[in-house]
Amino acid sequence: MKTYGFYIDTVNCSGCKTCQVACQDKNDLEPGHLWRKIIDIEGGDWKNDNGVFSEYPFAYHVSLACNHCSDPLCVQSCPTQAMHVTDIGAVDIDQDKCIGCGYCTWACPYDAPKLDKRTGRMSKCDLCYDRITKNENPSCVDACPMRALDFGDIEVLKEKYGNTRSIFPLASPELTKPNIIIRPHKNSLKASVRNASIANREEL
Protein backbone atom coordinates (compact mmCIF):
# COMPACT_ATOMS: atom_id res chain seq x y z
CA MET A 1 0.00 0.00 0.00
CA LYS A 2 1.21 3.51 -0.84
CA THR A 3 1.70 6.01 1.95
CA TYR A 4 0.88 9.52 0.87
CA GLY A 5 2.66 12.58 2.17
CA PHE A 6 3.30 16.26 1.62
CA TYR A 7 6.51 17.99 0.60
CA ILE A 8 6.96 21.43 2.16
CA ASP A 9 9.58 23.74 0.70
CA THR A 10 10.27 26.35 3.39
CA VAL A 11 12.92 27.99 1.22
CA ASN A 12 10.48 29.05 -1.48
CA CYS A 13 7.37 29.49 0.67
CA SER A 14 6.50 33.19 0.88
CA GLY A 15 3.86 32.74 3.57
CA CYS A 16 1.08 34.05 1.32
CA LYS A 17 -1.49 31.57 2.70
CA THR A 18 -2.98 30.75 -0.68
CA CYS A 19 -2.88 27.06 0.28
CA GLN A 20 -4.77 27.81 3.49
CA VAL A 21 -7.52 29.72 1.67
CA ALA A 22 -7.68 27.14 -1.16
CA CYS A 23 -8.23 24.46 1.49
CA GLN A 24 -10.96 26.49 3.17
CA ASP A 25 -12.61 27.11 -0.19
CA LYS A 26 -12.50 23.48 -1.30
CA ASN A 27 -13.70 22.09 2.02
CA ASP A 28 -16.15 24.92 2.70
CA LEU A 29 -14.62 25.84 6.06
CA GLU A 30 -15.62 28.88 8.03
CA PRO A 31 -13.10 31.72 8.51
CA GLY A 32 -10.73 30.76 11.30
CA HIS A 33 -11.35 27.04 10.80
CA LEU A 34 -7.99 25.94 9.44
CA TRP A 35 -7.13 22.47 8.21
CA ARG A 36 -3.97 23.90 6.70
CA LYS A 37 -2.23 26.71 8.50
CA ILE A 38 0.93 28.72 7.97
CA ILE A 39 3.29 29.23 10.86
CA ASP A 40 5.41 32.36 10.65
CA ILE A 41 8.75 31.98 12.40
CA GLU A 42 10.86 34.96 13.25
CA GLY A 43 14.09 35.34 15.15
CA GLY A 44 17.34 37.22 15.31
CA ASP A 45 17.37 40.83 16.44
CA TRP A 46 18.33 44.41 15.62
CA LYS A 47 21.62 45.82 16.82
CA ASN A 48 21.64 49.44 17.88
CA ASP A 49 25.11 50.90 17.41
CA ASN A 50 24.82 54.52 18.57
CA GLY A 51 21.55 55.13 16.73
CA VAL A 52 22.53 53.11 13.66
CA PHE A 53 20.58 49.90 13.38
CA SER A 54 22.04 46.82 11.78
CA GLU A 55 19.56 44.12 10.92
CA TYR A 56 19.91 40.50 11.90
CA PRO A 57 16.30 39.33 12.08
CA PHE A 58 15.14 36.45 9.94
CA ALA A 59 11.80 34.90 9.10
CA TYR A 60 10.50 31.85 7.35
CA HIS A 61 7.16 30.11 6.98
CA VAL A 62 5.99 26.55 7.49
CA SER A 63 2.77 25.48 5.79
CA LEU A 64 1.29 22.69 7.83
CA ALA A 65 -1.81 20.51 7.54
CA CYS A 66 -2.26 17.02 8.95
CA ASN A 67 0.91 15.00 8.37
CA HIS A 68 -1.00 11.71 8.27
CA CYS A 69 1.63 10.22 10.57
CA SER A 70 2.62 6.56 10.44
CA ASP A 71 2.40 6.44 14.23
CA PRO A 72 -0.48 8.83 14.88
CA LEU A 73 -0.87 9.87 18.51
CA CYS A 74 -4.36 11.18 17.77
CA VAL A 75 -5.55 7.72 16.69
CA GLN A 76 -3.97 6.20 19.77
CA SER A 77 -5.53 8.80 22.08
CA CYS A 78 -9.03 9.09 20.64
CA PRO A 79 -11.37 7.54 23.22
CA THR A 80 -14.03 6.68 20.64
CA GLN A 81 -11.98 5.18 17.79
CA ALA A 82 -13.50 7.89 15.57
CA MET A 83 -9.95 8.86 14.61
CA HIS A 84 -8.76 6.09 12.31
CA VAL A 85 -6.43 5.32 9.43
CA THR A 86 -8.28 4.97 6.12
CA ASP A 87 -7.60 2.54 3.28
CA ILE A 88 -5.37 5.09 1.54
CA GLY A 89 -3.26 5.61 4.67
CA ALA A 90 -4.84 8.91 5.59
CA VAL A 91 -5.87 9.74 9.14
CA ASP A 92 -9.55 10.61 9.16
CA ILE A 93 -12.43 11.11 11.59
CA ASP A 94 -15.58 9.02 11.68
CA GLN A 95 -18.26 11.64 12.31
CA ASP A 96 -20.69 8.98 13.55
CA LYS A 97 -18.41 8.19 16.50
CA CYS A 98 -16.79 11.53 17.38
CA ILE A 99 -17.87 13.15 20.66
CA GLY A 100 -16.03 16.44 20.07
CA CYS A 101 -13.92 16.17 23.22
CA GLY A 102 -10.89 17.71 21.50
CA TYR A 103 -8.48 15.18 23.01
CA CYS A 104 -6.97 14.50 19.56
CA THR A 105 -5.95 18.16 19.29
CA TRP A 106 -4.09 17.91 22.60
CA ALA A 107 -2.39 14.70 21.58
CA CYS A 108 -1.39 15.96 18.13
CA PRO A 109 1.97 17.74 18.25
CA TYR A 110 1.00 19.58 15.07
CA ASP A 111 -2.39 20.87 16.25
CA ALA A 112 -4.01 19.38 13.13
CA PRO A 113 -7.52 18.27 14.25
CA LYS A 114 -9.83 21.24 14.64
CA LEU A 115 -13.28 21.54 16.14
CA ASP A 116 -15.99 22.20 13.58
CA LYS A 117 -18.27 24.56 15.48
CA ARG A 118 -21.13 23.88 13.08
CA THR A 119 -21.28 20.14 13.79
CA GLY A 120 -19.74 20.08 17.29
CA ARG A 121 -17.33 17.39 16.14
CA MET A 122 -13.68 17.34 15.21
CA SER A 123 -12.57 17.76 11.62
CA LYS A 124 -9.30 17.66 9.76
CA CYS A 125 -7.47 17.36 6.45
CA ASP A 126 -8.68 14.27 4.58
CA LEU A 127 -5.96 14.54 1.88
CA CYS A 128 -8.71 15.70 -0.55
CA TYR A 129 -9.89 12.11 -0.93
CA ASP A 130 -12.15 12.93 -3.87
CA ARG A 131 -9.32 14.62 -5.75
CA ILE A 132 -6.50 12.12 -5.17
CA THR A 133 -8.70 9.19 -6.17
CA LYS A 134 -9.06 11.02 -9.52
CA ASN A 135 -5.26 11.28 -9.67
CA GLU A 136 -5.35 15.00 -8.92
CA ASN A 137 -3.28 16.80 -6.28
CA PRO A 138 -4.93 18.06 -3.10
CA SER A 139 -6.28 21.63 -3.51
CA CYS A 140 -3.55 23.27 -1.43
CA VAL A 141 -0.75 21.77 -3.54
CA ASP A 142 -2.24 22.91 -6.84
CA ALA A 143 -3.01 26.39 -5.46
CA CYS A 144 0.54 27.21 -4.36
CA PRO A 145 1.87 30.07 -6.53
CA MET A 146 5.45 29.38 -5.40
CA ARG A 147 5.24 25.64 -6.16
CA ALA A 148 6.43 25.14 -2.61
CA LEU A 149 4.12 22.21 -1.92
CA ASP A 150 4.14 18.77 -3.45
CA PHE A 151 2.17 15.64 -2.81
CA GLY A 152 2.53 11.96 -3.55
CA ASP A 153 3.87 8.61 -2.43
CA ILE A 154 6.20 9.37 0.47
CA GLU A 155 8.88 7.03 -0.92
CA VAL A 156 8.89 8.93 -4.22
CA LEU A 157 9.02 12.28 -2.40
CA LYS A 158 11.88 10.96 -0.28
CA GLU A 159 13.91 10.08 -3.36
CA LYS A 160 13.15 13.43 -4.95
CA TYR A 161 13.63 15.77 -1.99
CA GLY A 162 15.58 13.97 0.74
CA ASN A 163 14.35 12.82 4.11
CA THR A 164 14.15 15.85 6.44
CA ARG A 165 11.06 15.31 8.57
CA SER A 166 11.19 18.24 10.96
CA ILE A 167 12.03 21.92 11.22
CA PHE A 168 11.77 24.41 14.07
CA PRO A 169 9.12 24.69 15.63
CA LEU A 170 7.78 21.24 14.75
CA ALA A 171 8.03 18.36 17.20
CA SER A 172 10.62 15.61 16.85
CA PRO A 173 9.57 13.19 14.08
CA GLU A 174 10.29 10.31 16.46
CA LEU A 175 7.06 11.15 18.29
CA THR A 176 4.57 10.32 15.53
CA LYS A 177 6.61 9.53 12.38
CA PRO A 178 4.96 12.22 10.23
CA ASN A 179 4.69 11.68 6.48
CA ILE A 180 6.16 15.00 5.46
CA ILE A 181 9.37 15.90 3.69
CA ILE A 182 10.72 19.34 4.44
CA ARG A 183 13.23 21.44 2.58
CA PRO A 184 14.61 23.41 5.51
CA HIS A 185 15.13 27.15 5.30
CA LYS A 186 18.77 28.04 6.00
CA ASN A 187 17.79 30.07 9.06
CA SER A 188 15.90 27.17 10.56
CA LEU A 189 19.18 25.41 11.31
CA LYS A 190 20.19 28.06 13.83
CA ALA A 191 16.63 28.89 14.89
CA SER A 192 16.98 27.52 18.39
CA VAL A 193 20.14 29.48 19.19
CA ARG A 194 18.90 32.66 17.53
CA ASN A 195 15.87 33.33 19.65
CA ALA A 196 13.30 32.16 17.11
CA SER A 197 9.63 31.96 17.97
CA ILE A 198 6.21 31.65 16.37
CA ALA A 199 5.22 35.15 15.29
CA ASN A 200 1.59 34.66 14.30
CA ARG A 201 0.02 32.63 17.09
CA GLU A 202 -3.12 34.73 16.71
CA GLU A 203 -3.71 33.35 13.22
CA LEU A 204 -3.13 29.65 13.97
Burial of 72 (0-12, 13-18, 19+ CB in 10 A): buried
Query: Which position among 6, 110, 151, 168 is part of the footprint of another protein (CB under 8 A)?
Result: 110
Residue 182 interacts with another protein (CB under 8 A)? no
With a CB cutoff of 8 Å and minimum separation 6, the contacts of 113 are: 66, 74, 83, 93, 102, 104, 105, 122, 123, 124
Give the strand pairing for 180-183 and 4-9: parallel
Q: Is 28 in the site for another protein (CB under 8 A)?
A: no
H-helix segments, 2-152: 18-27, 73-77, 103-107, 129-132, 139-143
Shortest Cβ distance from residue 20 to another protein (Å)? 6
User: In this chain, which of 8, 98, 144, 182 binds another protein, going by CB under 8 A?
Assistant: 98
Within the chain, where are the H helices?
18-27, 73-77, 103-107, 129-132, 139-143, 154-161
> What's phi and psi for 126, nearest 5 deg?
-110, 20
Per-residue mark of binding to another protein, 78-97 (x: CB under 8 A): xxxxx-------------xx
Rule CB under 8 A: which of 53-72 touch another protein?
53, 55, 57, 59
Kindly state whether residue 128 participates in binding another protein, applying the rule CB under 8 A.
no
Can you tell me which of 46, 49, 87, 135 binds another protein, judged by CB under 8 A?
Answer: 46
Which of 61, 68, 121, 183 binds another protein (CB under 8 A)? It is 121
Nearer to another protein, 22 or 132 (CB): 22
Residue closer to another protein, measured from CB, 152 or 169? 169
Number of neighbouring beta carbons within 10 Å of residue 11:
14
Least Å from the CB of residue 199 to another protein = 6
Is cis: bond before 169, omega within 30 of 0?
yes
Which residues of the chain form contacts with another protein (CB under 8 A)? Answer: 15-17, 20-21, 24-25, 31-32, 38-39, 42-46, 48, 53, 55, 57, 59, 73, 75-82, 96-103, 105-111, 115, 119-121, 169-171, 175, 198-199, 202-204
